[in-house]
């Protein structure tokens, strides 16, 4: 990119996802001095994906805290700060590394409001780059979203665009409850778009319609939106209209948008890169059956990551590809 182009893009608010996140954090920290950032390498390093770039210089070591190498310390300290009255945004360097801090999330963060009868609350955010496609092998590619969705007390969002990353992060920071913000790391730098300036917020729990269509509903979120949209475009070329929903939030998820679309269209393919077995899309499938079974012309079909640890050599093949999505659509259409 030439430098004039870069300047023009910056002025017009055109940003990658990583830039949109850093900018949102900056704006929220400027707006509200209760907002603090904590994580590994979030300080001088600006985060290994630069999602906290320049915050350290601007806000100093008390508000941009380079933690020791411990996810339990990060999440637990964020909880303590939130209980005290701050609005911490914790970064887990890779979603795969949330597990050493999983007890803090499940036993403390998710339950503090409940167990204290509302006396203490956890208005905090835990951001984490997630998902595959970066040749990282199974400890840099996993998608633990289902574990969070299954944990009462947590909210979970999973944007797929720079704008939604900014808008959902802002909503998460301002939310009264703990929100897990999953970020599809393979899209961090690959897409740019104009991100609305100012108080742009995206409501947690609302899906976005990415394509309109009457033949099949495609439901996806996060990293897999890219492949889902490719599949939808291929279908358009074949004259098949796909109604594409980007869930954006997984807990709560937009049941209304999904059920209405499925009731209307009768065929649905659910796309997620999380492992299949007891994965989040099983919940969507079960809910569809429970609520609108009579409208179904074909069973809800899942295209997901496989029930293996995330592979290395087959990094791309693990992910739901446009091809696998199209095969499922075909099965749904010809059922």
Ligand X SMILES: Cc1ncc(C[n+]2csc(CCOP(=O)(O)OP(=O)(O)O)c2C)c(N)n1
CA-CA distance, 11 to 31, in Å (whole number)? 21
When CB distances are held under 5 to 8 angstroms depending on the partner's kind, the choice from other proteins, a second copy, ligand X, none that residue 317 binds is: other proteins
According to CB under 8 A, which residues from 208 to 267 bind other proteins?
A: 252, 255
Taking the CA atoms of 303, 307, 311 and 314 in sequence, report the sign of the dihedral they define: negative
Per-residue mark of binding to a second copy, 278-297 (x: CB under 8 A): xxxxxx-xx-xxxx-x--x-
When CB distances are held under 5 to 8 angstroms depending on the partner's kind, the choice from a second copy, ligand X, other proteins, none that residue 18 binds is: none
Contact (CB, 8 A) for 132 and 176: no
According to CB under 6 A, which residues from 45 to 64 bind ligand X?
A: none
Tokens, residue 238: 């074949």
CA-CA distance, 315 to 208, in Å (whole number)? 28
Contact between 31 and other proteins (CB under 8 A)? no
Q: Which of 69, 152, 278, 293 binds ligand X (CB under 6 A)?
A: 69
Q: Which residues contact 74 (CB under 8 A, 6 or more apart)?
A: 38, 39, 40, 67, 90, 91, 92, 101
Contact between 83 and other proteins (CB under 8 A)? yes
Contact (CB, 8 A) for 257 and 322: no
| Segment interacting with ligand X (CB under 6 A) among 57-65, 92-100, 148-156, 285-293 | 92-100
Contact between 145 and ligand X (CB under 6 A)? no
Contact between 65 and other proteins (CB under 8 A)? yes
Contact between 135 and a second copy (CB under 8 A)? no
Contact (CB, 8 A) for 264 and 232: no
According to CB under 8 A, which residues from 261 to 280 bind other proteins?
A: 276-277
What is the residue-wise DSSP string for 210-225? Answer: EE--SSEEEEE-GGGH
Residue 120 or residue 335: which is nearer to other proteins going by CB?
A: 120
Q: Which residues bind ligand X (CB under 6 A)?
A: 40, 69, 93, 97, 100
């Amino acid at each position: 990119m030439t430098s004039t182009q870069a300047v023009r893009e910056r002025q017009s608010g055109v940003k990658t996802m990583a830039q949109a996140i850093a900018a949102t954090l900056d704006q929220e920290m400027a707006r509200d001095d209760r907002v603090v950032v904590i994580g590994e390498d979030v300080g001088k390093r600006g985060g290994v994906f630069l999602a906290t770039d320049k915050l350290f210089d601007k806000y100093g070591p008390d508000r941009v805290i380079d933690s020791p190498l411990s996810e339990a310390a990060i999440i637990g300290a964020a909880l303590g700060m939130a209980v005290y009255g701050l609005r911490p945004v914790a970064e887990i360097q890779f979603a795969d590394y949330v597990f050493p801090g999983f007890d803090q999330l499940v036993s403390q963060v998710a339950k503090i409001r409940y167990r204290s009868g509302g006396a203490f609350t956890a208005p905090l955010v835990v951001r984490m780059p997630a998902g595959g496609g970066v040749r990282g092998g199974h400890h840099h590619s996993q998608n633990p979203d289902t574990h969070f969705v299954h944990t009462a007390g947590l909210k979970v969002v999973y944007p797929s665009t720079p704008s939604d990353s900014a808008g959902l992060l802002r909503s998460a920071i301002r939310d009264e409850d703990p929100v897990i913000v999953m970020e599809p790391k393979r899209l961090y730098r690959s897409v740019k778009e104009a991100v609305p300036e100012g108080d742009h917020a995206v409501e947690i729990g609302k899906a976005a319609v990415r394509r309109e269509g009457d033949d099949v509903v495609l439901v996806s979120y996060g990293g897999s939106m890219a492949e889902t949209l490719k599949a939808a475009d291929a279908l358009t070329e074949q004259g098949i209209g796909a109604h594409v929903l980007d869930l954006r939030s997984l807990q709560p998820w937009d049941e209304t948008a999904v059920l209405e679309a499925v009731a209307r269209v009768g065929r649905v393919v659910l796309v997620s890169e999380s492992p299949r077995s007891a994965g989040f899309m099983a919940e969507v499938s079960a809910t569809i059956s429970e609520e609108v079974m009579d409208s179904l012309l074909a069973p809800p079909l899942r295209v997901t990551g496989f029930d293996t640890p995330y592979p290395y050599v087959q990094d791309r093949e693990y992910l739901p590809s446009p091809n696998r999505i199209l095969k499922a659509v075909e099965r749904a259409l010809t059922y």
